[in-house]
Amino acid sequence: MIIVLIGPPGSGKGTQAGILVEKLGLPHLSTGDMLRKISAQGGAEAEKLARCISEGKLVPSGLINDIVRKVLSSNECSSGYLLDGYPRSIVQAKFLAKIAQQDIKVLYFKADEQVIIKRILGRFSCKNCEKIYNEHYDKPKIEGVCDQCGHKEFVYRKDDNKETIIKRIKEYKKSTYPVIKYYKDHGGFFGIDANQSKEEVALEVDRVLKRV
Ligand code: AP5
Protein backbone atom coordinates (compact mmCIF):
# COMPACT_ATOMS: atom_id res chain seq x y z
CA MET A 1 0.00 0.00 0.00
CA ILE A 2 1.08 3.57 -0.66
CA ILE A 3 0.07 6.03 2.05
CA VAL A 4 0.28 9.75 1.35
CA LEU A 5 0.23 12.14 4.31
CA ILE A 6 -0.91 15.56 3.20
CA GLY A 7 -1.60 18.65 5.30
CA PRO A 8 -0.30 22.09 6.21
CA PRO A 9 3.10 22.65 7.83
CA GLY A 10 2.97 21.61 11.48
CA SER A 11 -0.17 19.49 11.12
CA GLY A 12 1.78 16.47 12.43
CA LYS A 13 2.61 14.53 9.25
CA GLY A 14 6.17 13.71 10.35
CA THR A 15 5.07 12.81 13.88
CA GLN A 16 2.34 10.42 12.71
CA ALA A 17 4.63 9.00 10.01
CA GLY A 18 7.05 8.07 12.79
CA ILE A 19 4.27 6.23 14.65
CA LEU A 20 2.97 4.53 11.49
CA VAL A 21 6.31 3.19 10.29
CA GLU A 22 6.69 1.38 13.62
CA LYS A 23 3.25 -0.19 13.19
CA LEU A 24 3.27 -0.95 9.47
CA GLY A 25 6.96 -1.44 8.76
CA LEU A 26 6.76 0.66 5.61
CA PRO A 27 9.64 2.99 4.67
CA HIS A 28 9.04 6.64 5.62
CA LEU A 29 9.85 8.97 2.74
CA SER A 30 9.89 12.62 3.76
CA THR A 31 10.78 14.92 0.87
CA GLY A 32 11.48 17.74 3.38
CA ASP A 33 14.10 15.55 5.15
CA MET A 34 15.61 14.51 1.81
CA LEU A 35 15.89 18.12 0.64
CA ARG A 36 17.38 19.31 3.95
CA LYS A 37 20.08 16.60 3.67
CA ILE A 38 20.93 17.59 0.10
CA SER A 39 20.95 21.30 0.96
CA ALA A 40 23.43 20.68 3.80
CA GLN A 41 25.96 19.12 1.42
CA GLY A 42 27.38 22.43 0.16
CA GLY A 43 27.90 23.72 -3.40
CA ALA A 44 25.86 25.99 -5.67
CA GLU A 45 22.89 23.61 -6.12
CA ALA A 46 22.66 22.95 -2.40
CA GLU A 47 22.70 26.68 -1.69
CA LYS A 48 19.85 27.24 -4.16
CA LEU A 49 17.81 24.55 -2.42
CA ALA A 50 18.55 25.94 1.04
CA ARG A 51 17.41 29.39 -0.12
CA CYS A 52 14.18 27.97 -1.50
CA ILE A 53 13.42 26.15 1.78
CA SER A 54 14.30 29.14 3.96
CA GLU A 55 12.03 31.35 1.84
CA GLY A 56 9.16 28.88 2.33
CA LYS A 57 8.83 28.17 -1.40
CA LEU A 58 8.40 24.78 -3.04
CA VAL A 59 11.50 23.52 -4.80
CA PRO A 60 10.97 22.94 -8.56
CA SER A 61 8.81 19.88 -9.23
CA GLY A 62 11.25 18.53 -11.87
CA LEU A 63 13.95 18.24 -9.24
CA ILE A 64 11.77 16.68 -6.53
CA ASN A 65 10.13 14.28 -8.99
CA ASP A 66 13.59 13.02 -10.06
CA ILE A 67 14.56 12.43 -6.43
CA VAL A 68 11.29 10.62 -5.69
CA ARG A 69 11.51 8.47 -8.83
CA LYS A 70 14.99 7.25 -7.79
CA VAL A 71 13.92 6.45 -4.22
CA LEU A 72 10.72 4.66 -5.26
CA SER A 73 12.55 2.41 -7.68
CA SER A 74 14.62 0.92 -4.84
CA ASN A 75 13.85 -2.58 -3.51
CA GLU A 76 13.02 -1.15 -0.11
CA CYS A 77 9.88 0.44 -1.61
CA SER A 78 8.65 -2.58 -3.55
CA SER A 79 5.87 -3.48 -1.03
CA GLY A 80 4.72 0.05 -0.41
CA TYR A 81 5.79 3.20 1.37
CA LEU A 82 4.65 6.19 3.36
CA LEU A 83 5.01 9.55 1.63
CA ASP A 84 5.28 12.59 3.91
CA GLY A 85 5.18 15.98 2.19
CA TYR A 86 4.84 14.64 -1.35
CA PRO A 87 2.98 15.27 -3.61
CA ARG A 88 2.27 18.91 -2.88
CA SER A 89 1.39 20.23 -6.32
CA ILE A 90 -0.79 18.91 -9.14
CA VAL A 91 2.30 18.27 -11.30
CA GLN A 92 3.71 16.07 -8.53
CA ALA A 93 0.38 14.27 -7.94
CA LYS A 94 0.10 13.39 -11.64
CA PHE A 95 3.71 12.24 -11.68
CA LEU A 96 3.10 9.94 -8.70
CA ALA A 97 -0.03 8.52 -10.34
CA LYS A 98 2.13 7.56 -13.35
CA ILE A 99 4.91 5.82 -11.43
CA ALA A 100 2.97 4.32 -8.47
CA GLN A 101 2.68 0.52 -8.60
CA GLN A 102 -0.01 0.16 -5.91
CA ASP A 103 -3.20 1.79 -4.67
CA ILE A 104 -2.72 5.23 -3.15
CA LYS A 105 -4.49 6.05 0.13
CA VAL A 106 -4.43 9.69 1.14
CA LEU A 107 -4.68 10.88 4.74
CA TYR A 108 -5.47 14.59 4.87
CA PHE A 109 -4.38 16.20 8.16
CA LYS A 110 -6.66 19.16 8.68
CA ALA A 111 -5.57 21.66 11.36
CA ASP A 112 -6.26 25.30 12.25
CA GLU A 113 -3.73 27.99 11.48
CA GLN A 114 -3.21 29.09 15.11
CA VAL A 115 -2.64 25.47 16.13
CA ILE A 116 0.01 24.81 13.50
CA ILE A 117 1.86 28.07 14.09
CA LYS A 118 2.20 27.31 17.82
CA ARG A 119 3.38 23.78 17.06
CA ILE A 120 5.97 24.91 14.53
CA LEU A 121 7.41 27.62 16.77
CA GLY A 122 7.79 25.01 19.53
CA ARG A 123 9.41 22.29 17.42
CA PHE A 124 12.97 21.08 17.99
CA SER A 125 14.72 17.80 17.32
CA CYS A 126 17.63 15.70 18.48
CA LYS A 127 20.81 16.61 16.56
CA ASN A 128 21.87 12.97 16.51
CA CYS A 129 18.79 10.76 15.83
CA GLU A 130 16.44 13.55 14.60
CA LYS A 131 13.58 12.58 16.94
CA ILE A 132 11.06 15.45 16.92
CA TYR A 133 10.02 17.20 20.16
CA ASN A 134 7.89 20.18 21.10
CA GLU A 135 8.38 22.82 23.80
CA HIS A 136 4.65 22.94 24.54
CA TYR A 137 3.44 19.39 23.92
CA ASP A 138 6.21 16.85 23.76
CA LYS A 139 9.38 17.50 25.76
CA PRO A 140 12.06 14.86 26.42
CA LYS A 141 11.32 12.89 29.61
CA ILE A 142 14.61 14.07 31.13
CA GLU A 143 15.20 17.73 30.28
CA GLY A 144 18.03 18.17 27.77
CA VAL A 145 18.43 14.44 27.03
CA CYS A 146 16.96 12.71 23.98
CA ASP A 147 14.56 9.89 24.97
CA GLN A 148 15.57 7.83 21.98
CA CYS A 149 19.37 8.01 21.85
CA GLY A 150 20.50 9.88 24.98
CA HIS A 151 22.16 12.68 22.98
CA LYS A 152 22.24 16.13 24.60
CA GLU A 153 22.18 18.52 21.64
CA PHE A 154 19.02 19.72 19.96
CA VAL A 155 18.39 21.77 16.82
CA TYR A 156 15.69 24.07 15.48
CA ARG A 157 14.81 24.17 11.78
CA LYS A 158 15.83 27.39 10.03
CA ASP A 159 12.44 27.69 8.34
CA ASP A 160 10.57 27.41 11.67
CA ASN A 161 10.28 31.15 12.30
CA LYS A 162 7.14 33.30 12.20
CA GLU A 163 7.98 35.06 8.91
CA THR A 164 8.72 31.84 6.98
CA ILE A 165 5.76 29.98 8.47
CA ILE A 166 3.39 32.57 7.02
CA LYS A 167 5.04 32.08 3.60
CA ARG A 168 4.87 28.28 3.89
CA ILE A 169 1.16 28.42 4.72
CA LYS A 170 0.58 30.73 1.73
CA GLU A 171 2.47 28.36 -0.58
CA TYR A 172 0.49 25.42 0.86
CA LYS A 173 -2.81 27.15 0.07
CA LYS A 174 -1.72 28.04 -3.45
CA SER A 175 -0.09 24.75 -4.54
CA THR A 176 -1.35 21.99 -2.24
CA TYR A 177 -5.06 22.79 -1.81
CA PRO A 178 -5.64 21.79 -5.45
CA VAL A 179 -3.98 18.42 -4.71
CA ILE A 180 -6.53 17.79 -1.95
CA LYS A 181 -9.36 18.35 -4.41
CA TYR A 182 -7.58 16.15 -6.96
CA TYR A 183 -7.43 13.24 -4.49
CA LYS A 184 -11.00 13.81 -3.26
CA ASP A 185 -12.11 13.33 -6.85
CA HIS A 186 -9.96 10.23 -7.36
CA GLY A 187 -11.04 8.20 -4.28
CA GLY A 188 -8.99 6.66 -1.44
CA PHE A 189 -9.14 9.99 0.42
CA PHE A 190 -9.65 10.29 4.20
CA GLY A 191 -9.83 13.42 6.37
CA ILE A 192 -8.19 13.39 9.81
CA ASP A 193 -8.85 15.96 12.56
CA ALA A 194 -5.23 16.95 13.22
CA ASN A 195 -6.15 19.55 15.88
CA GLN A 196 -6.37 16.72 18.41
CA SER A 197 -3.53 15.47 20.60
CA LYS A 198 -0.83 13.29 19.04
CA GLU A 199 -2.37 10.18 20.64
CA GLU A 200 -5.91 11.01 19.48
CA VAL A 201 -4.71 11.64 15.92
CA ALA A 202 -2.86 8.29 15.96
CA LEU A 203 -6.08 6.53 17.04
CA GLU A 204 -8.07 8.20 14.26
CA VAL A 205 -5.43 7.20 11.71
CA ASP A 206 -5.61 3.60 12.97
CA ARG A 207 -9.39 3.58 12.65
CA VAL A 208 -9.21 4.91 9.09
CA LEU A 209 -6.54 2.45 8.00
CA LYS A 210 -8.55 -0.49 9.36
CA ARG A 211 -11.37 0.48 7.00
CA VAL A 212 -9.28 0.61 3.81
P1 AP5 B 1 8.68 19.70 5.10
O2 AP5 B 1 9.81 19.31 5.93
O3 AP5 B 1 7.85 18.67 4.46
O4 AP5 B 1 7.77 20.70 5.95
P5 AP5 B 1 6.20 20.95 6.03
O6 AP5 B 1 5.36 20.31 5.01
O7 AP5 B 1 6.11 22.43 6.11
O8 AP5 B 1 5.76 20.21 7.29
P9 AP5 B 1 6.44 20.23 8.68
O10 AP5 B 1 7.62 19.30 8.69
O11 AP5 B 1 6.69 21.64 9.12
O12 AP5 B 1 5.25 19.72 9.61
P13 AP5 B 1 4.66 18.30 9.94
O14 AP5 B 1 3.26 18.28 9.46
O15 AP5 B 1 5.57 17.19 9.52
O16 AP5 B 1 4.63 18.42 11.53
P17 AP5 B 1 5.46 17.64 12.66
O18 AP5 B 1 5.01 16.23 12.78
O19 AP5 B 1 6.92 17.88 12.52
O20 AP5 B 1 9.17 20.67 3.93
C21 AP5 B 1 10.08 21.73 4.17
C22 AP5 B 1 10.38 22.46 2.87
O23 AP5 B 1 10.99 21.57 1.92
C24 AP5 B 1 9.15 23.03 2.13
O25 AP5 B 1 8.77 24.28 2.64
C26 AP5 B 1 9.69 23.11 0.70
O27 AP5 B 1 10.54 24.22 0.54
C28 AP5 B 1 10.52 21.84 0.59
N29 AP5 B 1 9.73 20.67 0.12
C30 AP5 B 1 9.44 19.55 0.82
N31 AP5 B 1 8.72 18.69 0.08
C32 AP5 B 1 8.54 19.28 -1.12
C33 AP5 B 1 7.86 18.90 -2.30
N34 AP5 B 1 7.17 17.74 -2.38
N35 AP5 B 1 7.87 19.75 -3.37
C36 AP5 B 1 8.54 20.92 -3.29
N37 AP5 B 1 9.21 21.36 -2.20
C38 AP5 B 1 9.21 20.54 -1.12
O39 AP5 B 1 4.92 18.44 13.95
C40 AP5 B 1 5.24 19.79 14.18
C41 AP5 B 1 5.45 20.00 15.68
O42 AP5 B 1 4.21 19.79 16.36
C43 AP5 B 1 6.45 19.04 16.35
O44 AP5 B 1 7.16 19.72 17.33
C45 AP5 B 1 5.56 17.93 16.96
O46 AP5 B 1 6.15 17.42 18.15
C47 AP5 B 1 4.29 18.72 17.30
N48 AP5 B 1 3.08 17.92 17.11
C49 AP5 B 1 2.79 17.05 16.10
N50 AP5 B 1 1.54 16.55 16.23
C51 AP5 B 1 1.02 17.15 17.34
C52 AP5 B 1 -0.25 17.06 18.00
N53 AP5 B 1 -1.25 16.29 17.51
N54 AP5 B 1 -0.46 17.81 19.10
C55 AP5 B 1 0.53 18.62 19.60
N56 AP5 B 1 1.75 18.73 19.02
C57 AP5 B 1 1.99 18.02 17.90
Entry pTM: 0.95
- Point out the ligand 1 atom lying closest to the alpha carbon of residue 171: 25
Taking the centre of ligand 1 as the mean of its atom positions, its distance from the CA of residue 98, in whole angstroms, is 25
User: Catalytic: which of 94, 118, 139, 157?
Assistant: 157
Q: Which residue's alpha carbon is nearest to atom 9 within ligand 1?
A: 9
Contact at 8 Å (CB) between 202 and 116? no
pLDDT for 208 beyond 90: yes
Q: Is the dihedral of CA 205, 206, 211, 212 positive or negative?
A: positive
With a 6 Å cutoff on the Cβ, whether 12 touches ligand 1 is: yes
Q: Which residue's alpha carbon is nearest to atom 29 within ligand 1?
A: 32
With a 6 Å cutoff on the Cβ, whether 147 touches ligand 1 is: no
Mean of the pLDDT values across residues 138-163? Answer: 97
Given this model, what pLDDT does residue 101 score? Answer: 84
Identify whether 119 is a catalytic site residue.
no
Distance CA(124)–CA(106), nearest Å, equals 27
Per DSSP bridges, beta strands 2-6 and 81-84 are: parallel
With a 6 Å cutoff on the Cβ, whether 165 touches ligand 1 is: no
Of 159, 163, 157, 138, whose CA–CA distance to 148 is shortest? 138
With a 6 Å cutoff on the Cβ, whether 67 touches ligand 1 is: no
Q: Which residue among 33, 35, 67, 161 has the greatest number of ligand 1 atoms within 8 angstroms of its CB, and so is best to mutate?
A: 35
Q: pLDDT tens digits, residue range 164-198?
A: 999 999 999 999 999 999 999 988 999 999 999 99
Q: pLDDT tens digits, residue range 55-83?
A: 999 999 999 999 999 999 999 999 999 99
